[in-house]
Structure 1
Amino acid sequence: MKTILSILCCLCISLSAYAHLGNLTGTVYDQTNNRPLQGVTVRLTGLNRATITNEAGQYRFDNLVASAYKLELSHVGFATQIVDVTVQNDQTTTLRTGMNVAPVALSEVVISSGRPHDQQLISNLDIKLRPITNSQEVLRLVPGLFIGQHAGGGKAEQLFLRGFDLDHGTDIGLTVDGMPVNMVSHAHGQGYADLHFVIPELIEGVDFKKGPYRADKGNFVTAGWADFRTRTTLDRSFVKLEGGQFDTFRAVAGVDLLGKARRSGSNDRRPQSAYLASEYSFSNAYFDSPQRFNRFNLMGKYHGHIGAGTTLTLTGSTFWSRWNHSGQIPDRAVASGQIGFFGAIDPTEGGETDRTNLNAQFLTVTPGNNVFKNSFFYSNYGFELYSNFTFFARDSVNGDQIRQRERRNLFGYTGSYTHETYLGKIRLTTTVGAQYRHDLTGGRVPTELSYTRNRTETLERVQYGDIDELNAALYADEQIQFSDRLTLNAGLRVDYFRNIYTDRLPQPATVGRARQAIVSPKLNLYYTANPRLQLYLNTGKGFHSNDTRVVVPQGGREILPGAYGADAGVIFKPVPRLLVNAAAWYLWLDQEFVYVGDEGVVEPGGRSRRQGVDVSVRYQITNRTNGANLYADLDLNTARPRAVGVESGQNYLPLAPVLTSIGGLSLQTESGFSGSLRYRYMADRPANEDYSIVAKGYFVTDLQANYTRKNYSLGLSVQNLLNTRWKETQFATESRLLNEAAPVNEIHFTPGTPFFARLSLTLFF
C-alpha cells in the first residue's frame, strides 16, 4: 500500500508540474482561397516535436515551457513558412498562418512523428505532379493499382492490386468524400465500384493505404482502401473542351457561384463557397463496332460555417451513362480471321447506368481541438448490363447473352469523435466512431439475372428478387505517442450484418434472413528516427462481406471471411530530393463463398495466401526555384498469390498479378509548360489454376503535355504513345462459337487502347 501511495504522489507531483505550462494552437490555410489545409507538417524547430494539421487545418502543442519558439510549416506544393511565436505559462497562444502555392520541392518533405498513421506523403506528391485526364486516371493514383476496361468505357473497371484480381472491387474499399462507392450484393458482382460519377478536374486529393490496418475502414478493406476528396472550392471558374480520335468529344465546366470575396470572408462574415460543375462525354472508341458511349455528370457543392467551430459541406451530384461494347473475344476467332483484333462476336452487348448522390458533412472543432465528424449520405442507383461471355456454349440457337439489372437505394451515416490529451509527456489521441449503411434493391426493378437475345427479348430468368442488407459498425482507435520517436496505434472494430432476400422466382415469393458479426483488431507501430527516416509495422484483421444471395442460403455461417495482414516497411529520404517507401507484406484469407454474378451460382473460394514487396520512389531530378523542375517516380510491386491446401502446381490464383510497375517523368516550368511521360507494365500471369493458360503481360506508355497561361490552358493527351498492341483484360473462358462442335477453353480478351490522341482547351474566368 505504501508503494502504491508513493507512486500516486509522484504522479500527482509530475502532473502538477505540467499544469503551469503553456499551450500553442493554430490554423493553417491556403492564401489563394482561404481554405484550411489538411496534412501540413508543423514542427517546433530544435525540439524535434512535430504534428500534422487535421481536416480543419488545425494543430496543437501542449505542455510547452514559457519561451520563444520557431515554427516550421511545410506542405507539398506550398512554400515553407517559418513563424516566430512566444508561449506563456498557463496560457494558450493561438496563431493563424497562410501558405502560398509554390513549385513542389521534395527537399521540404518532412517525415512526421506526430500522426504517422495518417501520413500521405506519396499521395500528396502524386496529386500535385500527375495530370488527371480521365476517370480511369483517378484509380491509378494508388501506387500499384492496375485497372482494365472491358465493356466500352461505361462499366466499372476491373481492378488489380497486391496479388488480387479484385474483379470490380471485392477487396478494396473505395469512397468519395466519405461516401461509399462499392455496392454490396450487386447484380454484376460483389463490391462493384463505379467511379465514373467523379469529374476528374474536381479531384483535390486521394488518401489511401494498403492492407486492413485502419479501424475506421470496414467492409472490402483487405488489399487496401482509397478515399477520393473532391474540391471544396474552385479558385476560378473554367470551361474545358476536348476532342480526339475515334469521334471522341468532351466538355467540362465549373462555375464559382459566390466569388472570391465570399471565399475570403470578412470581419462580419465567415468564408463560404459554392460551385456547380458538369461534364459530357461521347466516343465511338476504337472498336470495329461503334461504342456510342455517352456520359453526363452534374455536381454542386457548398461549404460554409454554421457556427463558431462548425462547418457544413453539402454535395449533390447526378450521373448517367449509356454504351455499346464488343465484349471479350476469343483468341481463336482472331487467329482464324473470323474477326479482327478490335472486332466482336456479339455486337449487341452494352449497358446503361445512373447514380444520384446527396452528401452532408458536418465538422466541429472545439476550442480544445476535439473533433466531431458527422456525415449523412444517400444514393439512388440504377444498373443494366448485357453481356455474352460464352456465345453459344449453353444455347446453340439463341446464344448465351445475359442481362444483369438492379435499382438501388443506399443511405447511411458515419460519425466520429476525436479527443487529444497528455499524460505527462505521452500524447494520447482517442477516436471513437459509429457507421451505418443500408442497401435496398427491388420494387419495380428487382435485382435480376436473365438470359436474353439481342438486348430486347427475355428468354429465362435465373435470379430475380429483392435485397435488404444492413451493416452497422462501432470502432475505437487509440494513438499513443510515447516520445518524439515512438508511436503506437491500436484499434478495434465490430461489424454487424443483417441480410434479407426476397426471391420472386417462386410463387408466392419466399423470404430468407440471416445475420452475422465480425470483430477486427488492429495494431500498428511507428518509429521515427528523424525527419528523414521512419520504420513501421502494421498488423490487422479485415474482411469482405459476401452477397446476400450467398449469405441467406448459408444461414449466416462462414459468410464473413477474415483477412489477416502485416506490413513491415520504411519511409526514408537518403538525400533531400529522394523519397522512398518500401514494405514487405503478407495477407491470409479464410474460407469464403463467392457468388458468381454472371452465372447465378455459388462457388467455394477456399483459403489463400499472398505475400510480396511494394516499393515507391519519388525523386526530384532538378531543383530550381525559378525555371524547370523535373521529377521521376517509380512504383514496383511483386506478389506471390497461392491457394492454401491445394496441391503444388494446381494452386495458382487465376489472373492475380505477380509483377507490376508504374513510373514516369513529370515536368513543371515557370513559363507555363508542364507534362509527363509515363509507363505501366504488367508481367505475364496465370489465367487458370495450373498455369497452363497464360494471361500475357504488356508495357504501355502515355504522354501528357500542357501549356498554361493566366486565362487559358492548352493540352495534348496521348494514350499508348508507341501504338503497342496489347490485351487490357483477359480471362480463361470456355466458350463455343457458332457452328463449333464443342466448347473451347482459352484466353478471351478485350483489346487495349491503340494510339489515341486528344487535344484540350481550358478557359479560366
Structure 2
Amino acid sequence: MKKHLLLLSFIFVSFISYAHLGGISGIVTHQATNLPMSGVTVQLTGLGKSTVTNENGKYQFEGLVSSKYKIEFSHVGYKPQVIEVVVSDNQTQFIKMLLSDADIELSEVVVSSQRAHDQQLINSVDIKLRPITNSQEILRMVPGLFIGQHAGGGKAEQIFLRGFDLDHGTDIRLTVDGMPVNMVSHAHGQGYADLHFVIPELVQGVDFKKGPYATDKGNFTTAGWVDFRTKDALERSFVKLEAGQFDTYRAVAGIDLLGQKGKDKSQAAYIASEYSFTNSYFDNPQNFNRLNVFGKYHGHITPSTNLTFTASTFWSKWNHSGQIPDRALESGLIGFYGSIDPTEGGETSRTNANVQLVTVTPSNFVIKNQLFYSNYNFELFSNFTFFLEDSLNGDQIKQKEQRNLYGYNGSISKQAYVGKSSWTTTVGVQYRHDLTDRSELSHTKDRSVTLDPYQLGDVNELNASVYADELIQINDRFTVNAGVRLDYFRASYQDYLLQPVTRNHAADAIISPKLNFYYTFNPRVQLYLNSGKGFHSNDTRVVVPQGGKQILPGAYGSDFGVIFKPFPKMFINAAAWYLWMQQEFVYVGDAGVIEPSGKSKRQGLDLSVRYQLTKSLYADVDLSTAKPRAIGETEGMNYLPLAPVFTSTGGLSLQMQNGISGSLRYRYLANRAANEDNSIVAKGYFVGDMQLNYAKKNYNLGLSVQNLLNTKWKETQFATLSRLKNETEPVEEIHFTPGTPFFAKLSLTLFF
C-alpha cells in the first residue's frame, strides 16, 4: 500500500512540476513571399532537441524549464538564423521567423535524424544550384535517371532508371503537386507519363525516392517515384524570351496577381503562360507548337488551414521523323536526321484542376485532402516497321484516346511524444478513376486515311487504396518506419469491334508492406536499410481478355545505403540495391503496345557526390550500375532489352556574387543489350551541355548550349524487325532517333 501511495505521490509531483514548465512555438515564413515554409529544421542549441516545421510552417517545443534558450533555424539554400528566447513558467513564447534566400553552403547541410525517412538533401542542393530551364531538365533532376526523346519533343520521353527501360513510365510513379501524371491503359502504352504540361520555370522542388519503400505511393512505384512541386508564389512577375537555332522560339510570362497586398495576408496568386515553336534539327521540319497556361492560388482560409488551388491547360502539336534503321543510313537512302515516313506526328492536350487542403488542428493532427481532375486527349501517328505488314500502304498506325481522370487523396497524421521517442501515425485513403472514350489503335496511311481498325473500345479503370504508416523515432539516432497499403483494382473494357458489342470485367487486390530503418551516428553519418513491396498494374486490354490473370504483378526490393559527409563541404549518398519483379513489360514495336512477360531481377550500386570546391564553384557526379536479368531463361539468353547497365552524370556549377552563374554538365550511357541474347547492341553515348547566365536586379541574360561537342549520337534505340519498301525480306537491327546536334539558345528574362 505504501508503494502505491509513493508512486501516486511521485506522479502527482511530476504532473505539478510539468504543469509549471513553459514552451516555445512559432511559425517560419519566406521573407520574399511571407508564405509558411515546411521542412525547416529548428534546434535548441546544446540540448539535443530539434524538430521540423509542419505543412503550415509551424513548430513547437514543450516541457521547457524556465531559462534562456538559443534557437537555430536552418534550411538548405536559406540564410540560417539564431535567436535567444527567455522561457518562463506556464508560458509559451511565440516566435515568428523570416528566412531569406542565400548561397548554398554544403558545410551547413546536416544529416538529420528528424527527417530520416524523407530527407531530400541531394535534391535540395541540386534545385538551388541547377535551376530547371527546359522540359528535359525536369526529369534529369533525379540522380541516375536518363531520358530519351524519340518524337522530336512532342511525345513523352523514354525513361531509364536502375536497370529499367521504363518506356514512358511503366515502373516509375510521376506526380505534380500530388496529381498523377502516369496514364493507366494508355493508347500508346501502360503508364504513359507526359510532363510537358509543366512550365519549367515554375518548378519549386523535386521530391523522389528510388525503390518501392513509401507507403503512400502505389501503382508504378517499383523503380521509384518522383513528385514535382510547383511554386506557391512568385517573388516577382517576369517575362522570358528565348531564341535559338533550328527556328526555335519560346516565350514565358508569370504575373503575380496579389503583390504586396497578398504578402500582408499570407496568400499568393499568380498566372503563367508558355508558348514554344521549333522546326528542330530534322530534315523534315517539325513544325512543333506548344501552349501552356497555368494558374495557382495558395493561402490561409483559416489560421490553421491552407488552401491551394491549381488550374492548367496544355496543348501541343508536331510532326516527327520517327525511328531510322541503321541500314537506311549506311546505304545512303536517308541522312542521319532523315525519315522513312515523314508523315508521322501527333497532337495532345491536357486540362487539370487540383485542390489541396491542409489543416493542422489545435491537438496537432495534420489532415490533408486533395481532389483532382484531368481531361486528356491524345493522337499519335507512328510507323515502326515501315512495310513489314503492308507492302503497298506501309505500316503506319494511329493511337488515339480521350480520357477523363478523377481522383482523391486524403490522410490524417499525428505526432506523439513518449519520453525521448516520437511516434508519427498516418492513415490515408486514395481513389483514382480513369474513363476513356473510344481508345483506338488503327492502321493508317499518310496520317489521313484509316485503313483497318485493330482495337477500338472504352476503358473503365478504378483504383481504390487504403494505407497505414508508422514513423517511430526511438531516440535521437534510431528511426523505424513501417507501413502497409491495400490496393483494389476494377477494370472493364467495352470492345466496339466485337459484334455484338461486349463489356468484360476483371478485378484484383494487392497488399504492399514496407519496413525501413535509419541510424544516424551524428550530423555527418547515417545508415539506412529500406525494404518493401510495390507493383505495377497491367493494361486493361491485356488483363480483361485473360479474366484478370496477373493484373497486379508485385515487385520486392531492398536498399542498403549510407549518407555521409567525410568533409564539411562534401556530401555523399551511396546504396546497394536489389529488385525482384513478378512480371516484366515488353515493348512490341510493330503494334506500338506493351505486353506482359516473365520474372526478372536487378541489382546494382548507386553513388551520388556533391562537393563545394570554392565559395562559388560546386561539383557533382552520379554513378549507377545495374545487372538486369530475366529469371528462368537460359544463361546468355536472359538479357533485358535496352536496360541500362552503367550510367553517369555530373558537372560543375558556378554561382558568383557579381551575378554570373552557369554550369558545364555531361551525361554518359554505356552500351547495353538491345535484345535477349545481346547479339544486337544499343550503342552508348557521351554528351555535354553548357549554361551561362548573367543576372542583375531586373533582368537575366542566358546562353544555353546542348551537345557542346557536337557529338553524333543515337538518343533512343530499339531492336526492331522491319522491311523497307524495296526489300524482299525483313531485317532485325537497331532503329534509332538521332540526338540533338550542337544547339545554342539565347534568353532574356525581365522582372517587374
TM-score (norm 2): 0.97
2: CA distance between counterparts of 1:47 and 1:606? 55
* Residue 187 of structure 2 is aligned to residue 184 of structure 1: no
Q: 1:15 to 1:339 in 2, by over 3 A?
A: farther
In the alignment, which residue of structure 1 is the partner of 2:713?
726
Paired letter, 1:685: R
Paired letter, 2:252: V
In the alignment, which residue of structure 1 is the partner of 2:521?
529
In the alignment, which residue of structure 1 is the partner of 2:321?
326
1: CA distance between counterparts of 2:592 and 2:327? 27
- Displacement of 1:33: 1.1
In the alignment, which residue of structure 2 is the partner of 1:363?
358
Q: How does 1:119-134 map to 2 (within 5 A)?
A: 119-134=119-134
Paired letter, 2:303: A
- Displacement of 1:474: 0.6
2: CA distance between counterparts of 1:572 and 1:564? 26
Q: Over residues 2-41 of structure 1, what are the superposed CA-to-partner deviations in whole Å (9 max), with x where a residue is unaligned?
A: 9x99999899689857666444332211111112222222
Unaligned runs of 5+ in 1: 624-628
Q: For residue 209 of structure 2, give the secondary structure of its aligned residue in structure 1.
A: strand
Question: Which residue of 417, 420, 436 maps to 1:441?
Answer: 436
* Residue 220 of structure 2 is aligned to residue 228 of structure 1: no
- Displacement of 1:431: 0.9
Q: For residue 381 of structure 2, give the secondary structure of its aligned residue in structure 1.
A: strand
Q: For residue 302 of structure 2, give the secondary structure of its aligned residue in structure 1.
A: coil
2: CA distance between counterparts of 1:21 and 1:511? 67
In the alignment, which residue of structure 1 is the partner of 2:492?
500
Q: For residue 641 of structure 1, give the secondary structure of its aligned residue in structure 2.
A: strand
Identify which range, 252-261 or 321-330, moves more after superposition: 252-261
1: CA distance between counterparts of 2:678 and 2:709? 30
1: CA distance between counterparts of 2:114 and 2:62? 13
* Residue 690 of structure 2 is aligned to residue 682 of structure 1: no
1: CA distance between counterparts of 2:325 and 2:7? 76
- Displacement of 1:311: 1.4
Identify which range, 243-252 or 498-507, moves more after superposition: 498-507
Paired letter, 2:362: P
Question: Which residue of 739, 745, 756 maps to 2:726?
Answer: 739
Q: How does 1:48-87 map to 2 (within 5 A)?
A: 48-87=48-87
2: CA distance between counterparts of 1:340 and 1:5? 92
In the alignment, which residue of structure 2 is the partner of 1:483?
475
Q: Over residues 607-650 of structure 1, what are the superposed CA-to-partner deviations in whole Å (9 max), with x where a residue is unaligned?
A: 11011111111111112xxxxx0011110111111111111111
Q: Over residues 391-447 of structure 1, what are the superposed CA-to-partner deviations in whole Å (9 max), with x where a residue is unaligned?
A: 0011111100000000000011101111011122211111111111000001xxx10
1: CA distance between counterparts of 2:4 and 2:182? 55
Question: Which residue of 531, 534, 543 maps to 1:539?
Answer: 531
Contact 1:189 1:597 in 2 (8 A): no
In the alignment, which residue of structure 2 is the partner of 1:399?
394
Q: Over residues 208-244 of structure 1, what are the superposed CA-to-partner deviations in whole Å (9 max), with x where a residue is unaligned?
A: 1101111010000000001001111111111110000
Paired letter, 1:114: Q
In the alignment, which residue of structure 1 is the partner of 2:371?
376
2: CA distance between counterparts of 1:655 and 1:15? 65
Contact 1:275 1:300 in 2 (8 A): yes
- Displacement of 1:94: 2.6
Q: How does 1:24-39 map to 2 (within 5 A)?
A: 24-39=24-39
1: CA distance between counterparts of 2:281 and 2:553? 41
Q: For residue 690 of structure 2, give the secondary structure of its aligned residue in structure 1.
A: strand
In the alignment, which residue of structure 2 is the partner of 1:316?
311
Q: For residue 128 of structure 1, give the secondary structure of its aligned residue in structure 2.
A: helix
Paired letter, 1:743: P
Identify which range, 735-744 or 299-308, moves more after superposition: 299-308
Question: Which residue of 612, 621, 629 maps to 2:613?
Answer: 621
Contact 2:276 2:291 in 1 (8 A): yes
Q: How does 1:94-173 map to 2 (within 5 A)?
A: 94-173=94-173
1: CA distance between counterparts of 2:558 and 2:494? 39
In the alignment, which residue of structure 1 is the partner of 2:267?
272
Contact 1:297 1:319 in 2 (8 A): yes
* Residue 381 of structure 2 is aligned to residue 386 of structure 1: yes
- Displacement of 1:319: 0.2
1: CA distance between counterparts of 2:643 and 2:14? 55
Q: 1:23 to 1:218 in 2, by over 3 A?
A: farther
Question: Which residue of 624, 630, 636 maps to 1:637?
Answer: 624
1: CA distance between counterparts of 2:12 and 2:381? 73
* Residue 696 of structure 2 is aligned to residue 709 of structure 1: yes
Contact 1:41 1:110 in 2 (8 A): no
Contact 1:39 1:119 in 2 (8 A): no
Paired letter, 1:764: F
1: CA distance between counterparts of 2:401 and 2:515? 39
Q: 1:215 to 1:7 in 2, by over 3 A?
A: farther
2: CA distance between counterparts of 1:573 and 1:346? 53
In the alignment, which residue of structure 1 is the partner of 2:542?
550
Measured on the aligned residues, the alpha-carbon RMSD in Å equals 2.0
2: CA distance between counterparts of 1:614 and 1:593? 24
In the alignment, which residue of structure 2 is the partner of 1:626?
none
Q: How does 1:277-356 map to 2 (within 5 A)?
A: 277-356=272-351
- Displacement of 1:101: 1.3
* Residue 423 of structure 2 is aligned to residue 428 of structure 1: yes
Q: Over residues 538-564 of structure 1, what are the superposed CA-to-partner deviations in whole Å (9 max), with x where a residue is unaligned?
A: 111100111111121222232111111
Contact 1:676 1:705 in 2 (8 A): yes
2: CA distance between counterparts of 1:11 and 1:593? 64
Identify which range, 604-613 or 656-665, moves more after superposition: 604-613
Q: 1:370 to 1:91 in 2, by over 3 A?
A: farther
1: CA distance between counterparts of 2:681 and 2:740? 21
In the alignment, which residue of structure 1 is the partner of 2:504?
512
Contact 1:374 1:414 in 2 (8 A): yes
1: CA distance between counterparts of 2:18 and 2:499? 73
TM-score (norm 1): 0.95
Q: 1:247 to 1:313 in 2, by over 3 A?
A: same
Report percent identity of matched pairs: 69
- Displacement of 1:91: 4.3
In the alignment, which residue of structure 2 is the partner of 1:238?
238
2: CA distance between counterparts of 1:621 and 1:365? 42
Q: Over residues 336-392 of structure 1, what are the superposed CA-to-partner deviations in whole Å (9 max), with x where a residue is unaligned?
A: 100000000000000000000001111111233321111110000000000000000
Paired letter, 1:396: S
